[in-house]
Structure 1
Amino acid sequence: METWVRFNSQSQAKERLCRAAQYACTLLGYTLQKGGAGADLLKTVKQLESHMSLTRKLMRLGNSAEALEAAKRAVHLSDSVLRLCVTVAHLNRAMYFACDNVLWAGKTGLLPTLDQNKWSQRSFRYYLFALILNLTRDAYEIGLLMERESRCCGSAKASLSSTPVALTPENGDLSPTPTSPSPPLLLPAAPSLPALSLRLRKQLHLLATVLRNNPPLLLDLLKNGCDILIPLHRLGLYRTSDGLVGAAGLASSVLSILTILHPWLKLKP
């Protein structure tokens, strides 16, 4: 199986290019249709999109083995949340690829009696579950990094303010004198709207800092966010236009190609 995984990884870039071309055809067909293009041109674009989809399915034969190997590696992760999300996501990807292989056999005529609509819906359900788990993993890692960044900022501020200074009435010593009355006890007030707005701005700044300092996490979040529109649309859970689906698929394909060209941009594990 390891030999097959190594062989299969060499064709990932070609599959990503075919995927980008497929969703570019989807976007082009939607744009031409809105522009009132002729039926012959629209039919040609549709046929090209279908050929690209079938070619991708051929290239993904055996991808289930790679997904299963990735799930076996993820079982040994020390973090329990990451272990659960990554392992189950890879298992769903394995089932998605298996359904996709069956669907390819139906489209090529090897299984002429196959209910292609049922298997297509089944494959998109597994794809959706995998993407939800990937987004959950991204959110979990963002939360951990934001908490770590917040602690680092707090420690830096504490170290700056830890220099001992002798307090006198001239530099701000407000300790009560024996003759001064005791200060009244005040109950903590509820946070006001400006305080909530300030807290929200701090959290957004912290989020931007974390994503800017972690390009692999940012790319994975963008890629999964674009990809999830596709199964939501195909399953009828969130209907949108073919143009948006094509643009989302094209964008996620380009991001995937970037992670192949520059492996350090791929989120690990």
Structure 2
Amino acid sequence: MRGLEHPSRWPERLGRPSVARPRSGSPLVWFHAVSLGEGMAALPVVRHCARLHPGLPILLTTTTLSAFEVIKDMLPDVVVYQFAPLDCPDAIESFIGYWKPSLILLMESELWPNLIMSAAEKGIAVALLNARMSLKSFNRWSVPLGLPLVSLMLSKLSLVIPLSTTQAVRFQLLHTPPYKIHFAGDLKYAVGDVEVREKELNTIKDLQRQFNDRPIWMAASIHRGEEEVILRVHGELIKAYPSLLLILVPRHPQDIKNVSLVC
């Protein structure tokens, strides 16, 4: 109703596939990222996996429409893109039952109890990459009522790769088995794609040339209301840099109209 779901592909959120599973009966790796940031972090790993295993079917899911609009055209041909199922038993069972993944790789903070427990029951390995947990989530899950449940869920993970020592400590305090926690740094930089990075750099240079090499700064992935703060900051900056150009990029595309009204 709020325009946050794809108008025709919303059944995928209920675990109903919109495309056929490639190579039925063969192993399949499922990558899941919630939004654009997590999806972009997953891309280098997805591409690397596709290069190492050319014939391996790969499934990538995200939750948000904004991630879909950007990432769908950046994937190797072997990767199937679907919207992630809601974390309710029927949707999860339908989704896993159809795609039959051999391995599930979750990005950052995507800890979904029904998904993880269902995968464990079926003997499917689940790893959490670029693992992070906010202090708010940690405090909420540390309460006596929630700790046994989250500890059970985390014990079902096969691998946790935290972003930092602080993140690793939080997972350990929630009883993640220490032998399952391994450091690998930020995976966004672990398997670089030189061609993609050069393309992104050339895009920035083209943008600068388009605006006659004016100094540019960007406020990206901003939420509704933050544009007012950014504009006040820009008002101060142009006093020192009169030709400074601001590029505003809302987190949700539907907020563009709201930003244009403020501007």
Q: Normalising by structure 2, what TM-score? A: 0.21
**Which one has the largest radius of gyration?**
1
Ranked by relative contact order (alpha carbons within 8 Å, sequence separation 6 or more), the top structure is 1
Q: Which has the higher strand share?
A: 2
